[in-house]
Chains A and B, each alone.
Chain A
Amino acid sequence: MNTVSTSRYLDSLLQGQPPASPLSWLNALRANAVDRVGALSVPTTRDEDWRFTDISPLTKLSFQPALGAAQPAPGTAQLNAADIERWSIAEASARLVFVDGMYAPEHSFNRAGITVENLASGVSTHAAAVQAQLGRHAAFEHNAFAALNTAFLHDGALVIVPRDAALKAPVHLLYVATRKQAASYPRCLVIAETGSAATVVEDFVALQEASYFTNAVTEMSLAGNAAVHHVRVQRDGAEAFHIANCAVSLASASRYHSVSVALGARISRHNLNVLLAAEGAECSIDGLALIGGQQLADTHTLIDHATPQCVSRQLHKCIVDDAARAVFNGNIMVRAGAQRTDSSQSSRNLLLSAKARVDTKPQLEIFADDVKCAHGATVGQLDVDEVFYLKSRGLSDTAARNLLTYAFGAEVIERIPVASLRQRLEQLVLAQTQAPALGAVHPS
């Protein structure tokens, strides 16, 4: 595919942008992004960063921005309260629902006692804080999809955790896809002030199985001593394209814990950039991709140790069945002067079929000398002795394999700090792996 046609494709996606904002800085940000979209093209497998992920199926389809459509197009699934209940998180003290990227106040609530509101209103209610952070973390200079999202920036989720506030209950951000052929641009900004603590769940779900395009950007800023648990669940429809850019910046002694689970979408790409910007910051970045059929799930992470004495931990797992393909690229950057960096990364992959494939690449760039960086990657099938152990206790071959597959994924799911969500995902993984553990047992 040549550059001209792919850049034209991006231009086609630029149609139907939201009207200008009364805020000049926001308009300037968007204009800048529009310029970048014009200059960039859809990445191809010739780009190092997209070597294993062929996004060209996306460019063969056309998508309309959801916000332009006055009437729901035919084939739009009707969203009702029961659907929302299906995805609700019992523990949540606040919820924002976005339908095809658009804020749905009728399904949202906030009992958290902190700012959890849509960005469109947040830009005026918290003008200074938003202006200082929005678009500052997710760079779009060289990232066509982040630029595209920013070109459409007019609404989204805003969470501000005030100084020293410790929020026990999670904030639930629910993104529901209802329209086929729709392009949506979810945007999320989380500001955790000094000494605050919160859990934010970003949850991408679908009411329909036709193709659509989700292009999300999330930015998080953690001030000194702040702690944020970030859970990201991508359970998009089977024909969906899901591209997400998430950028997190950590001030001194702040802690960021992220668990990302990718189950859905035909092609998904998750970029997670974590900047350890000041001493004593810590992060743990865990991920699970559980895919089959023709799915492709790509995770690119960058953990940037920019300052001394920061800690990072990463566990990324992929379970790949059928002809699916998983990609993991884990970049750990230790900058000059970032002494006493303590970092470990583990990529573990389970291939369940002969056609399944995983490309995993740890990428360590170390420019300091007093550092501890451990990393390892494994790709394999289920362990013969583990399968035999279970079978020697009466479990059928299928039951044994499914249980082990489930267990492999459960190690990541268990790290989700929201009990009801954890249980629901465990059920989902169980169903996907057909593990017999919680249902009836049918010896074969």
Chain B
Amino acid sequence: MIYQDSKTLLTVRKLHATVNGIEILKGMDLTIKSGEVHAIMGPNGSGKSTFSKVLAGHPSYEVSGGEVEFEGRNLLDLKPEERARAGVFLGFQYPIEIPGVANSQFLRLAYNTVQTERGKDELDPLEFDDFVREKMKLLEMNPDFLDRSVNEGFSGGEKKRNEILQMALLEPRLAILDETDSGLDIDALRIVAGGVNQLANKDNAIVLVTHYQRLLNYIVPDYVHVMESGRIVKTGGKELALELEARGYDWVGAEVKANARVNA
């Protein structure tokens, strides 16, 4: 939601990034204020996940230009773990499986690490167990998932729920949810979206990377951006998503080219 007294959380200016020497991000610009929900859409391969991972600090991506400011700090100076502790959260498009690490152990470790950073008390295993079970109820998750290895053998939808569970535990300032809706069945989509809505407040912000309008019926965006070839080429309100759903992406590209001719 757009608030009058909101603060700027994230400013991305002319961001360029490469992977294996190939430039993927080619001048991203984006400003996000507290309380807002942004949707990023765009064709496959346009760079949405790359942008998300660059914000989270994935080592395979090299920033080759531009700047990113998060709550007044240079985000690009921070290590991935420092970004997480500062309140940046990435919900992965493809969550990683970690055999041998119990989900409960992992969740508690992550939670306590971030709590400590925020000057709050850690929870011992018993306290944490109660706490995490409450959060799981919110997402209608079976507690059995605590005893299994992190994401191992989880179905696509179960992995996505586990991502949102992590978000619920870590209470980030900026959550980037990369295709959290893909792989979710109709009921799960409603439940997970409900969970995200409960976590949204006037002090944090959410970026939804998605291909489908359906998610945006549940989590209503303030802004919809279209990415193409590593840049945001169009920004609109929630109606833009409906228009994209109806007409596809081709017209956006055509419009961009036409504008470029006009401006030339």
Interface residues of A (CB under 8 A from B): 384-386, 388-397, 399-400, 403-404, 406-411, 414, 436-438, 440-443
Chain B residues with CB under 8 Å of chain A are 56-60, 79-81, 83-85, 89-90, 92, 95-96, 98-101, 105-106, 109-110, 112-114, 116-117, 122, 149, 166, 170
Residues of B within 8 A of A437 (CB): 101, 105, 109
Kindly state the separation between the CA atoms of A416 and B117 in the bound complex, as whole angstroms. 37
**Residues A411 and B81 in contact, CB atoms below 8 Å apart:** no
Contact A407 B84 (CB under 8 A): no
Interchain residue pairs with CB less than 8 A apart (29): A384-B59, A386-B96, A388-B58, A388-B59, A389-B96, A390-B98, A391-B79, A392-B89, A393-B106, A394-B110, A394-B113, A394-B117, A394-B170, A395-B109, A396-B113, A397-B79, A397-B81, A399-B109, A404-B98, A406-B101, A407-B101, A407-B149, A410-B100, A411-B100, A440-B122, A441-B109, A443-B81, A443-B85, A443-B117
- List 12 other contacts, CB 8 Å, given A386-B98, A391-B81: A384-B59, A390-B110, A391-B57, A392-B83, A392-B92, A393-B84, A394-B81, A397-B79, A407-B100, A414-B100, A441-B113, A442-B116
Please pick, from A403, A409, A441, the residue contacting B122 in the complex, using a CB distance under 8 A. A441
Q: Which A residues are CB-close (under 8 A) to B106?
A: 390, 393, 403
Most buried by A among B58, B95, B100: B100
Q: Quick one: closest A residue to B107, CB to CB?
A: A393
CB distance from A422 to the nearest CB of B (A): 13
A395:B110 contact, CB within 8 angstroms: yes
Contact check, A396 vs B100: say whether CB atoms are below 8 A apart.
no
Q: Assess whether A392 is in contact with B99, with CB atoms less than 8 Å apart.
A: no
**Chain A residues whose C-beta falls within 8 Å of the C-beta of B95 in the assembled complex:** 389
Main secondary structure of the interface of A (DSSP, over half): helix
Q: Which of A385, A394, A410, A414 contacts B85 (CB 8 A)?
A: A394
A392-B84, A443-B85 as given contacts; A403 in contact with B101, CB under 8 Å: yes
The distance from the CB of B124 to the nearest CB of chain A, in whole angstroms, is: 10
CB distance from A128 to the nearest CB of B (A): 46
Task: State how many angstroms separate the Cβ of A394 from the closest Cβ of chain B.
Answer: 4
Please give, as numbers and ranges, the residues of chain B lying within 8 Å of A400 by CB-CB distance: 81
Q: How far, in angstroms, from A65 to B129 measured CA to CA in the complex? A: 54
Please tell me if the beta carbons of A395 and B100 are within 8 angstroms of each other in the complex. no
Cβ contacts under 8 Å, B166 to chain A: 393
Q: How far is the CA of A388 from the CA of B52 in the complex (A)?
A: 13
Is A406 a contact of B96 with CB atoms below 8 Å? no
Max chain B Cβ within 10 angstroms of own Cβ: one of A394, A399, A410: A394
Residues of A within 8 A of B122 (CB): 440-441
Q: Which listed residue (B90, B99, B112) contacts A441, Cβ 8 A? A: B112
Q: Smallest Cβ distance from B34 to chain A, in angstroms?
A: 21
Q: B99 contacts which chain A residues (CB < 8 A)? A: 407, 411
Q: How far does the alpha carbon of A386 sit from the alpha carbon of B96 in the complex, in Å?
A: 6
* Chain B residue at minimal CB-CB distance from A396: B81
List A contacts of B170 (CB < 8 A). 393-394
Tell me whether B84 and A394 are in contact (CB under 8 A). yes
Q: Which 10 A-B pairs have the closest CB atoms?
A: A407-B100, A393-B110, A389-B96, A394-B84, A391-B80, A394-B113, A410-B100, A407-B101, A391-B81, A394-B114
Q: What residues of chain B lie closer than 8 Å to A436, measured between beta carbons? A: 109
Q: Which residue of A lies closest to B125 (CB)?
A: A438
In the complex the two chains form, what is the Cα distance from A399 to B81 in whole Å?
Answer: 11
Q: Which of B58, B100, B112, B113 contacts A406 (CB 8 A)?
A: B100
Asked whether B84 lies within 8 Å of A443 as measured between CB atoms, the reply is: no
Chain A residues whose CB sits within 8 angstroms of the CB of B98 once the complex forms:
386, 389-390, 404, 407
A393 → chain B closest CB, angstroms: 4
- B101's closest neighbor in chain A, by CB? A407
Residues of A within 8 A of B109 (CB): 395, 399, 403, 436-437, 441
Which A residues lie within 8 Å of B81 (CB)?
391-392, 394-397, 400, 443
Q: Looking at the complex, which one of B60, B80, B100, B116 makes contact with A392 (CB distance below 8 Å)?
A: B80
Interface core residue of B58, B79, B95 (most chain A CB under 10 Å): B58
Minimum Cβ distance to chain B for residue A47 (Å): 36
- A393–B165 Cα distance when bound, in Å, is 12
User: Which residues in B have their C-beta under 8 angstroms from that of A385?
Assistant: 96
Q: Which residues of B contact A410 (CB under 8 A)?
A: 100-101
With the chains together, A403 CA to B98 CA distance in Å?
10
**A438 neighbours in B (Cβ, 8 Å):** 105
CA distance A390 to B109 in the complex (A): 10
Shortest distance between the CB of B88 and any CB in chain A (Å)? 8
Interface centre among A388, A391, A393, A441 (most CB of B within 10 A): A393
Nearest-neighbour CB distance to chain B for A45, whole angstroms, equals 34
Shortest CB-to-CB span from A141 to chain B, Å, is 41
What is the bound-complex CA distance between A384 and B114, given in angstroms?
22
Question: Once the chains are docked, how many angstroms separate the CA of A399 from the CA of B101?
Answer: 13
